[in-house]
Amino acid sequence: MDHSNRASRLPARYEPPSLKALLNRMEAELKVRHRSPKTIEAYTRWVTRYVEFNQRKSPAKLGPRDAALFLSHLATAERVSASTQNQALAGLLFLYSEVLGMPLGHLEGIAHAKRPKSLPIVLSQGEVTRLLDAMEGMNRLMGSLLYGGGLRLMECVQLRVKDLDFDAKQMLIRRGKGRKDRVTLLPTCLVAPLKEHLAKVADQHRRDVAKGSGFVALPDALRIKYPNAAREWPWQWVFPASRHYIDEQTGEMRRHHVHETVLQKAVHQAIRQAGLTKPASCHTLRHSFATHLLQAGYDIRTIQKLLGHSDVRTTMIYTHVVDRGPLGVKSPLDTL
């Protein structure tokens, strides 16, 4: 079935929505489906770029051929990565199927971006030590959790007080990648520093409540189910921001969690200060966590659960970067 002339078959009085109205509708549909704020931001951004690429024509007047041309342009002219192109495709598919009610179906003729066969950057335990030693305060604590529990960046900054189980030495990661919950390690050596940190956060929270604030954002419809939870201690952020903000819908004075860029900048600065030459980042600490567990002899399935991977094949990538040389082979020069 040819969908390219779909626009010509629309009713004569049909008026496509403006871009702003379309993005608002799309954002509302994404929220109904409980998509993360990052996903909402990415999808709406790609739809905006798609409209601009097509001289600001309404997507309702465009079709599969236009979408394929846009995605091919991303791969050939802009040379985006395969994951970036797939994200743009997902945004367009959602727009047409869930917002416009005009499913694109199978897209033909797309020039696909090449997916590089790259291995993750991994630090040695000595390099991790140097990196963390170059950090201090709350940033060092967050960096230690990235490595000690294998957390992703956003999983770390979005930790709530109730997610820490000091007795069981574990952390509950809620709504991780793919909106999946999982349990991971809480290093014993971080229990005392975390309790000391939380004591300061609790004092700050009490002062906020006394001033009429002390609110935090709650996920989904929990605010309706638990109307007082937004000010209760268990729901507070482990790593709160230094400033308040006013929520437009409720008028509440809230604290957001610390912005992820704060930790990213701290890690980059520590990398330079530690004199590391590897192109490391916050996510490198998660890679290092998995690799060092594998080197310590823990089985791949256990590591998969701690990382929250759906497929063990994703976790298997770390078998290629353990400190045993390519394919686990020892060089004959070392036997001389």
Q: Mind telling me the catalytic residues?
A: 152, 177, 283, 286, 309, 318
With CA atoms as reference, report the closest residue to 289 among 307, 305, 266, 272. Answer: 307
**Beta strands at 182-185 and 164-165: parallel, antiparallel or unpaired:** unpaired
C-alpha–C-alpha distance, residues 224 and 241, integer Å: 24
For tokens 């779909």, name the residue.
6
